[in-house]
Amino acid sequence: MGTETDGSVRVLGIEGTAWAASAALYDAGTETVEIETEAYLPDSGGIHPREAAEHMAEQIPAVVERILDRAGETADSDPPVDCVAFSRGPGLGPCLRLAGTSARALAQRLDVPLVGVNHMVAHLEIGRHLSGFTSPVCLNASGANAHILGYRNGRYRVLGETMDTGVGNAIDKFTRHVGWSHPGGPKVEAAAKDGQYVEFPYVVKGMDFSFSGIMSAAKQEFDAGTPVEDICCGLQETIFAMLTEVSERALALTGSDELVLGGGVGQNDRLQSMLTSMCEQRGASFFAPENRFLRDNAGMIAVLGAKMYEAGDTVSIADSAVDSDFRPDEVPVTWRESETAVGRKTDDLVQGAESQVRFEGNRVVKRRHERAYRHPELDERLRRERTRTEARLTSQARRAGVPTPVVRDIDTADAELTLQYVGDEDLRDTLTEQRVRAVARHLATLHEAGVVHGDPTTRNVRVDGDTTFLIDFGLGYYSDDPEDYAMDLHVLGQSLTGTDDDADRLREVAIDSYRDVGDGNVVITLREIEGRGRYQS
């Protein structure tokens, strides 16, 4: 195990965000984690908050006492632990309050400090701790959540997220329609092994993604008589390919070559195999914790609690209120040094999220290589569609007055484009306020022409002196919906978060510049999008 906790600190952790009434003992000296969990399994449907709270009220005291007994048996001091850590959120309010009450009572009883842990950050940190990675990107895939986190400037930043519902909850909506009991994920995984691939909508916008259309299509397929095994196969191949693609995009944006997986859906073998394949193909390292640390558990709460305790990051009883909407990017990361991953690039070859780019004089040859993690039918479809879309919209944007490369040649069979060489650097490597303003103006011009870029990250802007060029329109499309235009600004803002320490200021610069020349309703819609907190429970 990798570790940053020296000495022999011992922590009792308590988890109670939704279904898992869990307690754990972590001993940093021996690097051991003992976990006791009592799971709430509803008779039908999904998780019922009242029943889940009743389960917590009954089972948390029991698991805590069992772990406390073990702590007493192995302790050489009194009290047997140095602190009590608990999950403050996000989660179901009634469950969180019961877990918090138990933690406060125990800390007072033992007269030890209290540590409040963000549940989603704990999913990331247990992977970082066990892997020994330095600064990984994390894919969190759980019932109520689905997002990509990366570290920058003392916080974990949300680089991408679901636009509607968590991945596990999305799958459960389909399995409830079929009539299967909760949880649905393992049942879908088992059925998919005997199924044939069925095509479903594939929705990725930058590093954001959506599951609602997929679930509606899956229900329609079931009602139309398509074998449920085939539907399950198509669901897995589509949903997990989307999660893998946005993970690769996050690696490309941040320059990191380390990926960790968190969350209960991460127990799925097919998802793990896709992430492994993607990382192998791009020369990155991937780590998935063992299953007991992927599903909700108090072990990860105790391990992160130890790091926070040693950093002096404790809370008083009076300041320990739970927060059902506790965002991971609200947490000051006090327990690790600030560092930024460095991108990897050679003079004549750049590895992007899905493609490799060769520089040949005044030309650029871009090829979307096969992604081994995707189902062959899905992979061929996406590579050809995105190559055609990039060629068409790059030219359309240029005609609208947006600086873009000239398309020299297109080969859809090999998913290859030849383009004019533009710019000497990515915007990521040469961020200035003036250039961010220019990008926002370009987006406003693009939207006026009815075109959505789809992926305007700092990697997809090239800079040549005072000129900024938009490139890589592969995720673009035509639209007259202000929400689609606002999503372009949202993606730009997320990429600034992942690449610059002064991202908040630069995001406001982009918004002001867009407002000056674009539709003000788009900015209003953007504020609504940013206020949704879609990745929360």
Residue 390 sits in the same domain as residue 471:
yes
CB contact set of 290 (below 8 Å; sequence gap of 6+): none
Residue 74 sits in the same domain as residue 159:
no
Distance CA 177, CA 144 (A): 18
Distance CA 101, CA 421 (A): 61
Residue 419 sits in the same domain as residue 395:
yes
Print the domain residue range for 107: 10-129+293-328
Cis before 376? omega within 30: no
Residue 371 sits in the same domain as residue 385:
yes
User: Has residue 315 been placed in a domain?
Assistant: yes
At 535 the pLDDT is: 39
At 351 the pLDDT is: 64
| Residue numbers annotated as active site | 455
At 4 the pLDDT is: 47
At 385 the pLDDT is: 96
Residue 26 sits in the same domain as residue 164:
no
Contact call for residues 18 and 92 (beta carbons, < 8 A): yes
CB contact set of 324 (below 8 Å; sequence gap of 6+): 89, 90, 91, 92, 93, 96, 536, 537
Whichever domain contains 205, its CATH number is 3.30.420.40
User: Has residue 2 been placed in a domain?
Assistant: no
User: Has residue 436 been placed in a domain?
Assistant: yes
Residue 367 sits in the same domain as residue 499:
yes
Residue 522 sits in the same domain as residue 485:
yes
Distance CA 100, CA 88 (A): 7
Residues 59, 64, 67, 72: is their CA dihedral positive or negative? negative
Whichever domain contains 460, its CATH number is 1.10.510.10
Burial class (CB in 10 A: 0-12, 13-18, 19+), 294: buried
Which residues in the chain land under pLDDT 70? 1-7, 43-46, 338-352, 532-537
When divided into structural domains, the chain yields a total of: 3
Residue 401: how many CB atoms within 10 A of its CB? Answer: 12
At 116 the pLDDT is: 97
User: Has residue 286 been placed in a domain?
Assistant: yes
User: Has residue 536 been placed in a domain?
Assistant: no
Distance CA 33, CA 40 (A): 22
Q: Which of 486, 505, 487, 488 is nearest to 497 (CA)?
A: 505
Distance CA 311, CA 325 (A): 24
Residue 198 sits in the same domain as residue 284:
yes
Residue 385 sits in the same domain as residue 504:
yes
Tell me the DSSP string of 153-213: TTEEEEEEEBSSS-HHHHHHHHHHHHTPPSP-HHHHHHHHTT---------EETTEE--HH
At 5 the pLDDT is: 45
Residue 109 sits in the same domain as residue 167:
no
User: Has residue 423 been placed in a domain?
Assistant: yes
- pTM for the model stands at 0.91
Domain boundary among 290, 316, 337: 290
At 532 the pLDDT is: 65
User: Has residue 451 been placed in a domain?
Assistant: yes
Residue 109 sits in the same domain as residue 211:
no
Strand partners, 149: 138, 158
Output the CA angle 281-123-16, nearest 5 degrees: 150
Q: Are strands 467-470 and 461-464 parallel, antiparallel or unpaired?
A: antiparallel
Residue 372 sits in the same domain as residue 493:
yes
